[in-house]
Structure 1
Amino acid sequence: MALFDIKLPETIRARLGLPQNDFKRQQERVLRKLLHKARFTEFGQQYRFDEIGLQENCVKLFQQKVPLFNYNKIYDAWWHRSLQGYPDVCWPGRIKYYALSSGTSEAASKYIPITNDLLKGNRVVMIRQILSLRNYNDIPVRSIGKGWLMLGGSTALQKGGGYYAGDLSGITAKKVPFWFQPFYKPGKKIARQRNWNRKLREIVKKAPEWDIGFIVGVPAWIQMCMEMIIEEYNLKTIHDIWPNLAFYVHGGVSFQPYKKSFEKLLAKPLTYIETYLASEGFFAYQDRPNSKGMRLVTNEHIFHEFIPFDDKNFDANGDPVENPQVLTVAEVEEHKDYVLVISTSAGAWRYIVGDTIRFTDKQRCEIVITGRTKHYLSLVGEHLSVENMNKAIELASSDMNISIPEFAVVGEPYQNLFAHHWYVACDDAVNAETLRFKIDDYLKQLNDDYATERGHALKEVFLDVLPEKTFIQFMRSLGKIGGQHKFPRVLKGKMLEDWKTFLANEMIPAKR
Structure 2
Amino acid sequence: MAIFDIKLPNRMAKALRLANGDVCKQQLRILKKLLHKARFTEFGQKYHFDNILMQPDPVKAFQQNVPIYNYSSIYKQWWHRSLENKPDVCWPGKVKYYALSSGTSDAASKYLPITNDLLQGNKLVMIKQLLSLRNYTDINVRSIGRGWLLLSGSTDLQKGIGHYLGDLSGITVKKSPFWFQPFYKPTKEIAREKDWNKKLEEIVDNAGDWDIGFIVGVPAWVQMCMEMVIEKYHLNNIHEIWPNLSYFVHGGVSFEPYKKGFNKLLGKPLTYIETYLASEGFIAYQNRQDACGGMRLVVSDHIFFEFVPFDDRNFTPDGDLVENPEILLAHQVSEGKDYALLISTPAGAWRYLLGDTIRFTDVSRSEIIISGRTKHFLSLVGEHLSVDNMNKAIQLAGEELDLPITEFTVSGEPHGSFFAHRWFVACDQPVDKPVLAAVIDKHLKALNDDYAVERKSALREIFVEVFPEETFLKFLEIRGKMGGQHKFPRVLKGGLLEAWKNF
TM range (shorter): over 0.9
Q: Which residue of 1 aligns with 2:220?
A: 220
Uncovered stretches (5+) of structure 1, i.e. residues with no partner: 503-512
Q: Which amino acid aligns with 2:335?
A: E
Which residue of structure 2 aligns with residue 372 of structure 1? 373
Deviation at residue 53 of structure 1 after TM alignment: 1.5
What CA distance in whole angstroms lies between the structure 1 residues aligned with 2:134 and 2:49? 40
Equivalent in the alignment of 2:111: 111
Distance (Å, rounded) in 2 between the aligned partners of 1:140 and 1:412: 49
The aligned counterpart of 1:339 is: 340
**Alignment of structure 1 residues 136-155 onto 2, 5 Å:** 136-155=136-155
For residue 378 of structure 2, what is the amino acid of its counterpart? L
**Which residue does the alignment assign to 1:282?**
282
1:325-367 CA-partner distances (Å, limit 9, x unpaired): 1111011111100001000000000000000001111100101
| 3-state secondary structure, aligned to 1:363 | helix
**1:139 match: secondary structure:** coil
Cα distance per residue 1:398-431 (max 9 Å; x no partner): 0111100100000001111110000000011221
Spell out, residue by residue over 1:13-71, the C-alpha distance to the aligned partner (whole angstroms, 9 max, x if none): 11102541411100000000000000000000000001111222000110110000000
**Superposition deviation, residue 455 in structure 1:** 0.7
Q: Give the match's secondary structure for 1:356.
A: strand
Change (3 A) 1:18 1:405: farther
**Matching residue's letter, 2:312:** D
Question: Which residue in 2 is equivalent to 1:420?
Answer: 421
Structure 1 residue identity aligned to 2:441: D
Matched ranges for 1:460-499 at <5 A: 460-499=461-500
Distance 2:76 2:140 in 1: 50
Shift of residue 226, structure 1, vs aligned partner: 0.4
Q: Which amino acid aligns with 2:305?
A: H
Report matched runs for 1:121-160 at 5 Å. Answer: 121-160=121-160
In the aligned structure 2, how far is the partner of 1:487 from the partner of 1:269? 26
Partners in 1 of 2:337 and 2:21 — Cα distance? 21
Tell me, yes or no, if the aligned pair for 1:246 and 1:271 is still in contact at 8 Å.
yes
How far apart, in 2, do the equivalents of 1:265 and 1:18 lie?
A: 40
- Compared with structure 1, are the counterparts of its residues 19 and 387 closer, same or farther at alpha carbon in structure 2 (3 Å cutoff)? farther
Shift of 1:290: 2.3
1:187 and 2:187 matched: yes
Q: Give the aligned residue type for 1:189.
A: E
- Are 2:266 and 1:258 equivalent residues in the alignment? no
Report the counterpart of residue 72 of structure 1 in structure 2: 72
Q: Which residue matches 2:311?
A: 310
**1:359-401 C-alpha deviation (Å, 9 max, x unpaired):** 1111001010001011110000000001111111111110111
* Residue type of the alignment partner of 1:349: W
Name the CA distance, whole Å, in 2 between partners of 1:361 and 1:268: 31
SS in 1 for 2:33: helix
Residue 164 (str. 1) matches residue 164 (str. 2): yes
Q: Distance in 2 between matches of 1:223 and 1:285?
A: 21
Task: Note the alpha carbon deviations across 1:245-266, whole angstroms, 9 max, x for none.
Answer: 0000000000000000001000
Whole-angstrom distance in 2 between the partners of 1:251 and 1:148: 16
Q: Distance in 1 between matches of 2:191 and 2:6?
A: 24
Deviations 1:123-182 (A, max 9, x none): 000001100000001212210101110101001111111111100000000011000000
Matched residue of 1:86: which SS? coil
Deviates more, 1:477-486 or 1:29-38: 477-486
Cα distance in 1 for residues equivalent to 2:329 and 2:431? 47
Deviates more, 1:183-192 or 1:115-124: 183-192
Question: Is the Cα–Cα contact under 8 Å of residues 253 and 486 in structure 1 kept in the other structure?
Answer: yes
Partner of 2:331: 330
The one-letter code sitting in structure 2 at the alignment partner of 1:71 is Y
Give the Å deviation of 1:9: 1.0
Question: How many angstroms apart in 1 are the aligned matches of 2:340 and 2:229?
Answer: 39
SS at match of 1:257: helix
| Contact 1:21 1:364 survives alignment (8 Å) | no
User: In structure 1, what is the Cα distance between the partners aligned to 2:123 and 2:187?
Assistant: 18
Give 3-state SS (helix, strand or coil) of 1:375's partner.
coil
> Is the 1:305–1:341 contact (alpha carbons within 8 Å) kept by the matching residues of 2?
yes
Gaps of 5+ in 2: none
Distance 1:132 1:199 in 2: 31
* Structure 2 partner of 1:199: 199
Q: How does 1:431-442 map to 2 (within 5 A)?
A: 431-442=432-443
CA distance in 1, matches of 2:418, 2:291: 41
Distance 2:141 2:93 in 1: 43
1:60 maps to what in 2? Answer: 60
Distance in structure 1 (CA, Å) of the matches to 2:312 and 2:188: 48
Matches of 1:55 and 1:17, distance apart in 2 = 29
Contact 1:21 1:363 in 2 (8 A): no
**Distance of 1:163 and 1:285 partners within structure 2:** 29
Whether the aligned pair in 2 keeps the contact of 1:155 and 1:191 (CA below 8 Å) is: yes
Residue 360 of structure 2 is matched in structure 1 by: 359
The answer as to whether partners of 1:212 and 1:245 remain within 8 angstroms in 2 is yes
What is the CA–CA distance in structure 2 between the aligned matches of 1:384 and 1:452, rounded to whole Å?
12
Which residue type is aligned with residue 28 of structure 1? L
SS at 2:365's partner residue? coil
CA–CA distance in structure 1, aligned partners of residues 107 and 201 of structure 2: 28
Partner of 1:182, secondary structure, is helix
Q: Between Structure 1 and Structure 2, how many residues are aligned?
A: 502
Matched position secondary structure for 1:15: helix
What is the distance in 1 between the residues matched to 2:240 and 2:392? 32
- The secondary structure found in structure 1 opposite 2:149 is strand
Q: 1:24-35 residue pairs with structure 2 within 5 A?
A: 24-35=24-35
1:269 equivalent in structure 2 = 269
